[in-house]
Structure 1
Amino acid sequence: MAATESQLPTDPKYDQYDFPTTAPEAQPGHPGHTSPEQDAKVHQLRAELEKLGQTERLDTLTLLRFLRARKFDVEAAKAMFTNSEKWRKEFGTDDLAANFEYPEKEKVFEYYPQYYHKTDKDGRPVYIEKLGKIDLNKMYEITTADRMLKNLVSEYEKLADPRLPACSRKAGKLLETCCTIMDLKGVGITSIPSVYGYVKQASDISQNHYPERLGKLYLINAPWGFSSAFSAVKSFLDPVTVSKIHVLGSGYKKELLAQVPEENLPVEFGGTCACPNGCHLSDMGPWQESEWTRPPKWAAKAADKAADKEGAEPVVQNEDPGYEKKDAEGQEGVQTAA
C-alpha cells in the first residue's frame, strides 16, 4: 500500500517531541509518510526489542531510521539496533555528550578540521571536513585515535540533540539529516593508507550506529580521476544514497551555493561567513540560538545521575585514563589507552 501523508503515529511511553515530526518530502517510510504496514513494523520492532529488555531509544523516529536503513526488514533492523545498543554500552556513548572534554580540539583541527557550521537552504546543519589536511602522525603527537573517535561520537550525539531539534523548530519541519561538505583538496594516493584505518572506523560508526543521517554530500575539489572511480562503484551503492552524492571539481562554487546560503558558507569555500576565531571553531547554528534550542535530554540524564550520586564518596572522573599531559614543556601528551 502506498504511503500517504499523515500524523506520525506515536507511543506516549517513548515519544515526547517538542519539534515538528513530519518530514518535508513525501518519501515512503519517512515520518508522516508511512503506510499502515510500515507503522505496524514500527510497533512490531518496538515490541520485540522490549522483549529483549531494551528500554532506551525506542521512540518512533529512531525506530523508523533503523527500519529504513534495513529496508523495513524487522529482523535485520532488530539485529542492527541491538548491536548498536551493545556498542553504545561498551563505548560509553551515553556519557560522552555530557562529560567528554576535548581541550586539544583546536590543535587537532590544524590537521583535520571537522565541524558543524550553520545551515543549508533546507535548514539542515552543515557538516564540513577537510580531508586533504589530515596528518595522522602529527595529530597523534597531540591526541589519540580513541579520543578522536570519542569526539566524533560526542558530536553525533549532539547532532541528534540539540542540533537537529533546534533546526527543525526553526524550519518548522522535521529535519533528520545533514548537508555534508568534504573538501578533497590535497588528497593524494600516497596519503590514503595512513588515514584508512581511522576513516574506516569513523565510517563504520556512522553507518552502523547513526543511520539515515545523510541528506546531501558534496565532495568538492575532487582530484583527477576521482569522478571516474566513483562512477565505477555507483552500481554497488543504493540508488537513494547515490542520489545524495555530488562529486565536484574545483569549480564547485555555483552548485554548492545553490544548496548553502552564501552568508552561511565559510569564505574559504566561496561564501561570505567569517566567524571570529574561525568558522571551524564557532559551532554557530540554530542550536546556539535561545529561540530554538532546548536543553538536550542527555543533559537531563547526566543531572539525574549526578543527583543519584549526591552524598556518595566523591570520585575523580576521567573519561579517558589513557590521555595525559606532559608537565616538562606544557605540551599535551599521549599514552594509548588500554
Structure 2
Amino acid sequence: MAAPAPTELELDPKYDDYDYPTKAPVPQNGHPGFLTASQQASVFQLRMMLESEGYTKRLDTLTLLRFLRARKFDVNLAKQMFVDCEKWRQETDLDNVIAAWEYPEKEEVFKYYPQYYHKTDKDGRPVYIEQLGGIDLAAMYKITTAERMLTNLAVEYERLADPRLPACSRKAGTLLETCCTVMDLKGVGIGKIPQVYSYVKQVSGLSQNYYPERLGRLYVINAPWGFSTVWSVIKGWIDPVTVQKIHILGSGYQKELLAQVPAENLPKEFGGSCTCAGGCQMSDMGPWHEKEWTKPAKWEKKEGATATKPAEPLAAGATATGTADAPAPAPAAA
C-alpha cells in the first residue's frame, strides 16, 4: 500500500506571521512541507486543545509541529509537553528575562567553558561550539552560579529561535530549524568526566523538555579514552532518532567535520581557516548579524522588552529530564 502523499503546510493567519521560508530543505516525514493530511490535522487538533485551556502564545504551526514530532505525533503527549513548557516559562518569567538579561561574567566563564555560535555549516545552519576540557565547576561557581548558567543557556536557546534561525533561513532560502553542534572534549580526562557528566545531565533536561527538535547534527570531537562508557549511559537519555544525528570522533575528526562545515566558517583551532578579529569565541559571527538577512527578534517587540532592571536567574527546577529532541548544548540535547 502506497504511503499517503505529503501535503503543503497549511498556515493559520491568526498565529503564523513568518517572514522567512516555511518549507523544510529536504523531504522528511512530519516536517513542514512534507506532512500527511493526518499530521496536518494533528496541528489543528493540538491548537484547539490548547486554545480551549486558555493558551494564546506560541501556537504557531512550526512550534506546534516541533512538539508533535518530539512526541511522535501523539497529540495528547505533545499537549502535555507544551503545557509543561509553558508552566516552566511562566514560573521563570522567561519572556521578560530574555528582554532584560545581562551576562557580564561571560568572558570570565569562557575561560573555563567556551560555548558560542559561530557562522554556519554547509546547509546554512548555525554552528554551535562547546569546549568542555576546561570545565572546573568549583572555579566557575566563584564567578557565576548554576542558576545563572542555566538562565544564560535558556536565553541563548531563545536567541537561536529568533533571530539566528530566521536570519539563516532567509539567507538559505529554505526553512532551517536546527543547528550543527561541535562538542570538543579535548582535555576531558577521566578525572574531569564526573564534572562534565553532571553538568551535561543537568542542561540536557532543559533542552530536551523545553526546546525540542533543535539539533541537526552533533559532532563530538577529541573523544577521550573511556568516553565510550560515558556515551553508553548518555545514549539512554536520548531518543534513538536523535542518536543517529550524533557522530563520536577522536582526534582525527577534521576530514569529517570539514565535510559539514566550510573551512572559512570553522575556527582555525579546529582545522578551519577562520580567525575572527578578537577571537572566534566572542565574535558571534553569522547571518544574524548581516544586515541583509537579520531583523529584530520578535521578543524584542513584546511586552516587557523595555525592562531595564536585571532579570532574576531561572529556577534550578528547570533541569528536569526528558526524551525530546532539542539542540545543543549537550550531547543529550537534540
Residues 237 and 111 of structure 1: is their aligned pair in 2 closer, same or farther, counting only changes over 3 Å? closer
Opposite residue 113 of structure 2, the aligned amino acid is Y
Is 1:153 the counterpart of 2:186 in the alignment?
Answer: no
**Structure 1 residue 37: Cα displacement:** 0.2
Opposite residue 184 of structure 1, the aligned amino acid is L
Q: What SS does structure 2 have at the residue aligned with 1:133? A: coil
How far apart in 2 are the matches of 1:96 and 1:116?
Answer: 20
Could you say which structure has the larger radius of gyration?
Answer: 1
**Structure 1 residue 199: Cα displacement:** 2.5
Aligned to 2:239: 238
Aligned to 2:59: 58
Q: For the Cα contact (< 8 Å) 2:100–2:310, is it kept in 1?
A: no
Q: Number of paired residues?
A: 313
Q: Which runs of 5+ in 2 are unaligned?
A: 315-334
How far apart in 2 are the matches of 1:102 and 1:43?
Answer: 39
Aligned to 1:220: 221
How far apart in 1 are the matches of 2:167 and 2:91?
Answer: 29
Aligned to 1:262: 263
Is 1:318 the counterpart of 2:310 in the alignment?
Answer: yes
Opposite residue 190 of structure 1, the aligned amino acid is G
Aligned to 1:188: 189
Query: Which 10-residue stretch deviates more, 172-181 or 145-154?
Result: 145-154
Aligned to 2:86: 85
**Structure 1 residue 230: Cα displacement:** 3.6
Aligned to 1:329: none
**Structure 1 residue 181: Cα displacement:** 0.3
**Structure 1 residue 87: Cα displacement:** 0.4
RMSD of aligned Cα (Å): 2.1
After superposition, residues 131-142 of structure 1 pair within 5 angstroms as 131-142=132-143
How far apart in 1 are the matches of 2:132 and 2:88?
Answer: 26
After superposition, residues 1-338 of structure 1 pair within 5 angstroms as 2=3, 4-227=5-228, 230=231, 237-302=238-303, 306=306, 317-320=309-312
How far apart in 2 are the matches of 1:188 and 1:250?
Answer: 14
How far apart in 2 are the matches of 1:232 and 1:101?
Answer: 35
Q: For the Cα contact (< 8 Å) 2:100–2:309, is it kept in 1?
A: no
Q: For the Cα contact (< 8 Å) 2:147–2:313, is it kept in 1?
A: no
How far apart in 2 are the matches of 1:185 and 1:134?
Answer: 11
Query: Which 10-residue stretch deviates more, 293-302 or 223-232?
Result: 223-232
Aligned to 2:329: none
Q: Which runs of 5+ in 1 are unaligned?
A: 310-315, 323-338
Residues 146 and 77 of structure 1: is their aligned pair in 2 closer, same or farther, counting only changes over 3 Å? same
How far apart in 2 are the matches of 1:262 and 1:183?
Answer: 17
Q: TM-score, normalised by structure 2?
A: 0.89
Q: TM-score, normalised by structure 1?
A: 0.88
How far apart in 1 are the matches of 2:173 and 2:192?
Answer: 43
How far apart in 2 are the matches of 1:109 and 1:94?
Answer: 25
